[in-house]
């Protein structure tokens, strides 16, 4: 057993009011989710592929979780594929469709502001397997124009992938409009909805998507589990082979406790969505207004209106993002510069670069993302902390 070093203290143990404002990176697991998961670690530990009663109890839980998620997405249970995370769901969607339709075409359309699970997978398909990838530009707010998507389509286009909401700047993309274009041209349409899962509508019929990626830890579920919605009839080559789990689309024994946790977390998030979003929007506006007033030169990034309810992001001239994050950590506030998957990277954000921000300004990126537990008092404290940290960094 790995035990914590007794001589090490938590970095926030001596702080009066540690404040977590990095919910786009990950969220705490809801106690109701933990309670739902616990029996499947111990009492109901069976392998859902086993025929005996232990296996059948686990299988029933797996089926219930699949039905719960399908109902939320307005999908069929057999259209839900469980994975290990949102990144795996993205990988399976892109590679699975690309290889399945390779005989028909080799052209993929995406945007330059996608998560690296999309961008790096597309780049590998391009470099190593001969696919052609068009990255349609976005505007200053990070919004892609559906007409630009339409103009990028060729006779060889087989897949379009556009994220639902951006993880770094919170911008929500016009999925339904893009879906109409893809449907009219008989092109498979995928969306990375990892950031959107807990906050936006997930009705796949209204959105018009053929594939949708989700990750549980973004909406108060456990890390290490995700899902991919695959519309019936969508060609998909499995990327992980072995057993016949997930209707032979993703081999490996299903992680029943985590899948139960994911379904429970998504059900809670979607049932409480309207109330939660209204509260988060109010706190977000308080945070945005406070920082723009208190920090000279600070600029809001992303769409000022069509953005995730708890998401605020800025570029702050005269300060470096990583240094602001470290200074805020010492002040008891958890923040980030952008995607947790690229934290500490030497290059400025690829998202901000695609939106037209100069490298020197993009290096001053700061992201503050709210969650269920945050309060007005915490937002006020965070605004003051950001102002103090930036002022000290600028004086050096």
Q: Which of the following is catalytic: 60, 248, 330, 341?
A: 341
Q: Do 313 and 170 contact (CB within 8 A), yes or no?
A: yes
- How would you class 244 by CB atoms within 10 Å of its CB: exposed for 0-12, middle for 13-18, buried for 19 or more? exposed
Q: Do 364 and 310 contact (CB within 8 A), yes or no?
A: no
Q: What's phi and psi for 389, nearest 5 deg? A: -65, -45
Distance CA 43, CA 27 (A): 27
Distance CA 58, CA 322 (A): 44
Token digits of residue 17 = 């009011």
The residues that bridge with 314 in the sheet, in sequence order, are 300, 366
Our CA dihedral for 384, 385, 388, 391, rounded to 10 degrees, sits at -110
Q: Do 320 and 344 contact (CB within 8 A), yes or no?
A: no
Question: Is 85 assigned a catalytic role?
Answer: no
**Catalytic site residues?**
341
């Amino acid at each position: 057993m790995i035990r914590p070093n007794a001589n090490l203290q938590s970095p926030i143990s001596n702080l009066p009011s540690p404040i977590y404002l990095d919910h786009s990176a990950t969220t705490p697991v809801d106690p109701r989710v933990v309670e739902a998961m616990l029996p499947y670690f111990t009492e109901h530990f069976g392998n859902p592929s086993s025929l005996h009663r232990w296996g059948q109890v686990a299988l029933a839980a797996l089926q219930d979780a699949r039905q719960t998620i399908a109902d939320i997405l307005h999908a069929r249970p057999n259209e839900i594929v469980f994975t290990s995370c949102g990144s795996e769901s993205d990988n399976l969607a892109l590679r699975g469709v690309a290889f399945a339709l390779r005989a028909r075409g080799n052209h993929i359309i995406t945007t330059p502001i996608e998560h690296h699970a999309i961008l790096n997978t597309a780049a590998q398909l391009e470099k190593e397997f001969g696919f052609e990838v068009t990255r349609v530009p976005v505007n200053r707010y990070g919004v892609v124009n559906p007409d630009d998507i339409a103009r990028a389509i060729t006779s060889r286009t087989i897949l379009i992938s556009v994220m639902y909401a951006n993880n770094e700047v919170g911008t929500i993309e016009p999925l339904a409009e893009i879906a109409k274009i893809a449907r009219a041209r008989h092109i498979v349409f995928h969306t990375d909805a990892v950031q959107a899962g807990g906050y936006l509508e997930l009705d796949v019929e209204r959105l018009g998507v053929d594939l949708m990626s989700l990750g549980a830890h973004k909406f108060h579920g456990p890390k290490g589990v995700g899902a991919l919605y695959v519309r019936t009839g969508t060609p998909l080559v499995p990327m992980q082979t072995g057993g016949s789990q997930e209707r032979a689309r993703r081999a490996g024994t299903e992680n029943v406790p985590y899948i139960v946790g994911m379904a429970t977390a998504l059900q809670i998030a979607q049932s409480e969505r309207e109330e939660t979003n209204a509260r988060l929007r109010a706190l977000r506006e308080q945070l945005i207004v406070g920082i723009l007033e208190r920090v000279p030169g600070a600029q809001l990034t992303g769409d000022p209106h069509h953005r995730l309810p708890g998401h605020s992001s800025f570029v702050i001239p005269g300060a470096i993002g990583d240094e602001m994050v470290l200074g805020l950590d010492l002040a008891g506030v958890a923040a980030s510069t952008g995607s947790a998957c690229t934290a500490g990277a030497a290059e400025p954000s690829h998202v901000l670069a695609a939106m037209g921000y100069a490298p020197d300004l993009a290096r001053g990126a700061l992201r503050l993302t709210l969650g269920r537990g945050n309060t007005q008092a915490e937002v006020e404290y965070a605004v003051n902390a950001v102002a103090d940290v930036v002022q000290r960094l600028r004086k050096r």
